[in-house]
Amino acid sequence: MIHEKLYETYLTSLLDGERSKCHDIVQKLLDDRIDIKKIYTDLFQRSMYRVGELWENNRITVANEHLSTSITESLLNLAYPSIFARERIGRKVVISCAANEFHQIGGKMVADIFELNGWDGYFLGANSPIEDTIRFVHDAQPDVVGFSLSILSNLDCLKRTIEAFRSDFSNMDLLIGGQAFRWGGIDTIKQYDGTEYIQSLDHLEKMINRM
């Protein structure tokens, strides 16, 4: 549980670019063994969604948004000691953002949740070209591949990616997620066999535990 007051303090520090204050808040939560999924969603995701609203309403600049993004990305790394502490279970996942998709924090979190559960998570980052992602998957031979989509207008890129994947890997399970689906597109994803839309990190972890 992350208290409202702590969230507000964190958000203010993030918007002010106070990296060390943000660092201390997150480190204390980790030291107190607060669930990493909670930190990811109730602190990082919630504050970045707020940053997006403030930017959309011209209450902060692109520079402020970039600063918040870069602080958040650096803070994700604080969780690494806990994330890699679990014994490896010999399973692999590749997580990528569709081509033309530059939002990468959500996808990185997803790879981390797999790691937290003992998987080896390969996160390819933003705007991954389809052919190169397919080549990487041929080499890495993962059990599952996941794609993150934040901008609904990139849905066609994602469809092309899924179709290219299906011709090379007919039986590979594909996971799809990201906030683009707040605005539609879930029915499109459901048309593809072996492709599952996952709406949150809680749902993701339940699914990992069933695999």
Chain residues in the site for ligand B12 (CB under 6 A): 40-41, 44-45, 48-49, 51-53, 56, 65, 69, 100-107, 109-110, 146-148, 150-152, 175-179, 183, 198, 200-201, 204
The alpha carbon of 55 is separated from its chain's Cα centroid by a whole number of angstroms, namely 21
Q: What is the nearest approach in angstroms of ligand B12 to the Cβ of residue 168?
A: 19
Q: What is the nearest approach in angstroms of ligand B12 to the Cβ of residue 97?
A: 8
Q: What is the nearest approach in angstroms of ligand B12 to the Cβ of residue 21?
A: 20
Determine what percent of the chain falls in helix, strand and coil, rounding each to the nearest 5: 60, 10, 30
Nearer to ligand B12, 45 or 133 (CB): 45
- The backbone torsions φ and ψ at residue 126, rounded to the nearest 5 degrees and listed phi first, read -80, 155
- The backbone torsions φ and ψ at residue 104, rounded to the nearest 5 degrees and listed phi first, read -120, -5
* Short-list 177, 127, 128, CA closest to 148: 177
Nearer to ligand B12, 78 or 152 (CB): 152
Q: What is the nearest approach in angstroms of ligand B12 to the Cβ of residue 1?
A: 17
Nearer to ligand B12, 50 or 90 (CB): 50
Nearer to ligand B12, 41 or 188 (CB): 41
Cα atoms found within 13 Å of the Cα of residue 130, Cβ hemisphere only: 14
* Short-list 114, 74, 77, CA closest to 94: 114
Mapped onto helix, strand or coil, the DSSP state of residue 151 is coil
Cβ atoms of residues 192 and 158 within 8 Å: no
Nearer to ligand B12, 121 or 146 (CB): 146
